[in-house]
Structure 1
Amino acid sequence: MAMSYEDSLSASRMLSSSVSSLSSRQQSSQIAKAYRQAAQLFLTRRLPEAFSTIEPVITPPETEHTNDSQNGDYPALAPVATASRGTRVKVWSFYLTFLNSVIELGAEEGKNAFGSTRWKALVAKCRDGSVWEEVVRDGYGGIEGNVDADVVINLATLLLTHSPSQKLTQKRLETYISASAQPTFDISLHMESSMYQQNQRKPSPHNNGTSTPRDLNTRIKLLELYTLHVLPRNEEWDYAREFITMSEVLDDERKEAFLLALHSLKEEKEETEVREAQLRQQQQEQLEQRRKEAEARRVEQSRAEDERRKREEENRRQPRSADESLRKSLTSNRQPPPPTSSRASRPAKKAMSPPPGLYKRASSLFAAMQTLILNTAQSMTNNPMALLRTLLFILAFALAFGRQDLRERVQRILRSAWDKIRRTVGMGVKVSYI
């Protein structure tokens, strides 16, 4: 009796599953062993060795890829695609963590460890988002909805950390959320996927990713990444609020918490922008203040330099002025005093003629002064400053006695002293006579 198409298909599935499960257990053991070795190398910071250990597990074999391409089938999957769900999640999560560490090495250390070309290629995967396509293609046969939710979360986190734009992250998350909520049931597509043959991983018609508490928590974490991190980075605040409100996965309590968190994020972003604007304004004001202070210092230095030059010029001119003043003073002292009437001077000379003893004392005084001047001249030859002081004293003495009022005052003092002496001598003569 001829078998129906459905029976033939079912028998083919059972036979394929039994054969592949036997070989998949051995391959899964090898994958788990490679993962443990790579993790140990990663913990000891031997990143190149860790990558060379895990790379064969996540890379499709070239021979299989070539045969599949020639047969017109889908590209061959990496060995990790045949592993159990737990091993598969561990391997891809380790790979994404490894890429994050490679970026954090920095350019100099990364190029020393992996070489310039390899390091740049690893970094570019995370910055342009191509690592997401790599995981979906090599690990899940190109079926977006079949990617494990934990792997999607790690992918989104990696791109949020290192990708300059989150447009691709938003598009990938929207595709995954839509595909996992409304799975496709193209039997031929799943039959051609070796992953389906190995694991029989099909979402049920009523499964939107929340069939178990663990799936529900994972789904909520995905929605948190999408609505509270990716959409705000793309300035999609209104759409994020609407998505939270219309979500069938979130209950009222979680919706309220998400909306409150979204509002807080927006306020924080606005406050940050205000602070950054104020900081830029302060920096601009500080730069302007420094510029003004520098200009004021420059002007002050220029003014001080001008004053210094003026003082130096005045100091150069001052000795010549002093010499001219001294020469004029000496010239004026040599001029004879203004003449007085002979009629007035004669009675004065007769009235002020001092006694012979006063002339003798005056002669002695002038002789002493002459001796002092001679001795001083000899001693001052070696000391010009002392000579200058002596000349200044003589000049002051000459100036003092050159004044007419001072001469008249001295004459009155001498006349008064002479009258007293004369009266005293007269009294003495009378007493002697008596």
Structure 2
Amino acid sequence: MAFDGSYSATLSPTVSDSFGSSHILSNSISSLGSSTSSRHSPSHISKAYRQASQLFLTRRLPEALSTVLPLITPSTEGADASGLTESAPIVRASRSTRTKVWSLYLTILNAILELDPDEGKDAFGTQEWRALCNKVRDGDVWEEVVQFGYHGVEGDVDSDVVINLATLLLAHARSQALNQKRLENYLAASNTPNLDISKRLEATRSSRYSSRSRRSPSKGAASGADTPRDLNARVKILELYTLHVLLRNNEWDYAREFISVSSVLDEERRDAFLQALQSLQEDQQESERRETEERQRQEDQLKKDLEEARRFRAENEARERRRLDEERARREGSEVDYGIEQNPSSPGSSKARPTKNGSAVSKPAKSTTPKKKAVAAPGFGTRAAMILANLSNAIGQMGASFKANPMLLMRFIAFIISIVVMFSRRDIRERIQRIVGTAWSKVRSTAGMGVKVSYI
């Protein structure tokens, strides 16, 4: 005891200080590790998932997305010298939790893309909203899920997550070529479901090492390829691939061939798939036939309208010609003869002129050639009738032109709207008033000068 006491008493201050500092450093490291592990613990992930679900149900999409992102994004705090970062917390979660988190994330993205552009920009900002939309429409979200959640292994992605990804891209992707390629890669990388019960029992009696290897995130286990649930999920994936994605890419023959040679589908499912494919193809052909008939009907209607417009214009021209002929005949009938009025005797009679011896000498009659008649100007009623007839003809021709060419009406309306919009501006109205006032003052001054000159 004396030796121990003397040894403890004779410790140098330097050793004591170094021991205290190392103890404090170890405590801080352990506390940091415990906080990191608690942040990435399954309870923390489940709590964040429930919170994000509540936010999503209340349509608070920005808060829900910000709650889910730390679970699926790799942390940059633990980056080493080589630049490698710590994997996302979702990687260490159970399969069910991992599937729920990824499904919630994809559901939030789908809700974001269904927002109106103005609403999305107000909620997330213009740049972030466009980045989220482009990530889904370009198919980059699939690569994000594979890299952050499954270490870049395509076949390790859970089947439910693949279904949600394919459905999301089917609804919002610009092209289904990337969706088809991703599904083909997944189907080629993942294992075929194995429902042999004897092999399952043999696998359960295997060694502890083999059971650990099955529980590790390998290709077969991660995809859940040995359960009836995975078989149903695989059938769902095949349904999306053959009856939706391939048909969007117009791969009807390839879809039929893929269904026929698939080893996952039994005879009943294969017949159901082929029957559904045949029904969809018939529906598409019927839709194309209806579209063709509708397009032909529109073309026939357009030709009929053009013929009707030509006939209407010809009738208007004929009516106008008849009206002009009637007006001309009426004007000729109402002409007034302003020549010298003749004696009411026969045209060949001569006026007697007495001579010196009393005999009457007949004076030759003057020529009865009619002089040029002056045409009377049409009256006010005639002019009004002509103006109304011309106005009616112009309106009829304008209606026929608008009916034959609807774009002409749209241009006319756009011209009227542009004039109204132009005159709705106060500065333009004031400028036009000044111009009109200046012109009117010049006209008045010119008229005044003309009056003065006429007076002089």
- TM-score tier after normalising by the smaller chain length: 0.5 to 0.7
Deviation track 1:145-169 (CA, whole Å, cap 9, x = no partner) reads 1111101001001111122322211
Task: Determine the C-alpha separation between the residues in 2 that align with 1:200 and 1:117.
Answer: 40
User: Do 2:38 and 2:44's aligned partners in 1 also have CA atoms closer than 8 Å?
Assistant: no
Structure 2: 5+ residue stretches without partners: 1-32, 194-211, 350-456
Greater RCO, 1 or 2 (C-alpha within 8 Å, sep 6+): 1
Q: Are residues 1:147 and 2:157 paired?
A: yes
User: Do 1:77 and 1:140's aligned partners in 2 also have CA atoms closer than 8 Å?
Assistant: no
Structure 2 match to 1:123: 133
Task: Determine the C-alpha separation between the residues in 2 that align with 1:337 and 1:169.
Answer: 108
Evaluate the alpha carbon distance shift between residue 215 and residue 25 of structure 1 in structure 2; reply closer, same or farther with a 3 A threshold: farther
Evaluate the alpha carbon distance shift between residue 169 and residue 24 of structure 1 in structure 2; reply closer, same or farther with a 3 A threshold: farther
Q: Are residues 1:251 and 2:262 paired?
A: no
User: Do 1:220 and 1:249's aligned partners in 2 also have CA atoms closer than 8 Å?
Assistant: yes
Shift of residue 279 of structure 1? 2.0
Tell me which structure has the larger Cα radius of gyration. 1
Task: Determine the C-alpha separation between the residues in 1 that align with 2:162 and 2:62.
Answer: 25
Structure 1 match to 2:90: 80
Deviation track 1:280-322 (CA, whole Å, cap 9, x = no partner) reads 22222222222333333333344444444444444444421xx
Structure 1: 5+ residue stretches without partners: 1-18, 184-195, 340-434
Task: Determine the C-alpha separation between the residues in 1 that align with 2:47 and 2:113.
Answer: 26
Structure 2 match to 1:200: 216
Evaluate the alpha carbon distance shift between residue 152 and residue 40 of structure 1 in structure 2; reply closer, same or farther with a 3 A threshold: same
Deviation track 1:187-243 (CA, whole Å, cap 9, x = no partner) reads xxxxxxxxx99x7333559x9854222111111111111122122222322322222
Evaluate the alpha carbon distance shift between residue 286 and residue 104 of structure 1 in structure 2; reply closer, same or farther with a 3 A threshold: farther
Shift of residue 109 of structure 1? 2.7
Structure with the largest fraction of helix: 1
SS in 2 for 1:271: helix
Structure 1 match to 2:69: 55
Identity of counterpart residues, as a percentage?
54
SS in 1 for 2:218: coil
Number of residue pairs aligned between Structure 1 and Structure 2? 297
Q: Are residues 1:71 and 2:85 paired?
A: no
Q: Which runs of 4+ in 1 moved over 6 A?
A: 336-339
Q: Are residues 1:45 and 2:56 paired?
A: no
Deviates more, 1:305-314 or 1:39-48: 305-314
Deviation track 1:160-190 (CA, whole Å, cap 9, x = no partner) reads 112232221111111111221179xxxxxxx
Q: TM-score normalised to the size of structure 2?
A: 0.57
Evaluate the alpha carbon distance shift between residue 148 and residue 294 of structure 1 in structure 2; reply closer, same or farther with a 3 A threshold: same
Structure 1 match to 2:106: 96
Shift of residue 49 of structure 1? 2.7
* Aligned pair partner of 2:302 in 274, 287, 295: 287
Structure 2 match to 1:364: none
Task: Determine the C-alpha separation between the residues in 2 that align with 1:60 and 1:309.
Answer: 89
The residue identity in structure 1 corresponding to 2:252 is W
User: Do 1:76 and 1:138's aligned partners in 2 also have CA atoms closer than 8 Å?
Assistant: no
Structure 2 match to 1:105: 115
Task: Determine the C-alpha separation between the residues in 1 that align with 2:342 and 2:48.
Answer: 117
Structure 2 match to 1:370: none
Deviation track 1:28-67 (CA, whole Å, cap 9, x = no partner) reads 3233233333322322333223222322222222334xx2
Task: Determine the C-alpha separation between the residues in 1 that align with 2:317 and 2:122.
Answer: 54
SS in 2 for 1:176: helix
Structure 2 match to 1:225: 240
The residue identity in structure 1 corresponding to 2:275 is L
CA RMSD in angstroms, aligned pairs only = 3.4
User: Do 1:24 and 1:82's aligned partners in 2 also have CA atoms closer than 8 Å?
Assistant: no
Q: How does 1:186-335 map to 2 (within 5 A)?
A: 200-204=216-220, 209-320=224-335, 323-324=336-337, 334-335=344-345
Deviation track 1:83-126 (CA, whole Å, cap 9, x = no partner) reads 22222222211221222222222323322332222222111122
Evaluate the alpha carbon distance shift between residue 335 and residue 292 of structure 1 in structure 2; reply closer, same or farther with a 3 A threshold: same
User: Do 2:191 and 2:220's aligned partners in 1 also have CA atoms closer than 8 Å?
Assistant: no
Evaluate the alpha carbon distance shift between residue 252 and residue 182 of structure 1 in structure 2; reply closer, same or farther with a 3 A threshold: closer
The residue identity in structure 2 corresponding to 1:200 is S
Evaluate the alpha carbon distance shift between residue 25 and residue 214 of structure 1 in structure 2; reply closer, same or farther with a 3 A threshold: farther
Task: Determine the C-alpha separation between the residues in 1 that align with 2:53 and 2:326.
Answer: 81
SS in 2 for 1:133: helix
The residue identity in structure 2 corresponding to 1:216 is L
The residue identity in structure 2 corresponding to 1:86 is S
User: Do 1:61 and 1:78's aligned partners in 2 also have CA atoms closer than 8 Å?
Assistant: yes
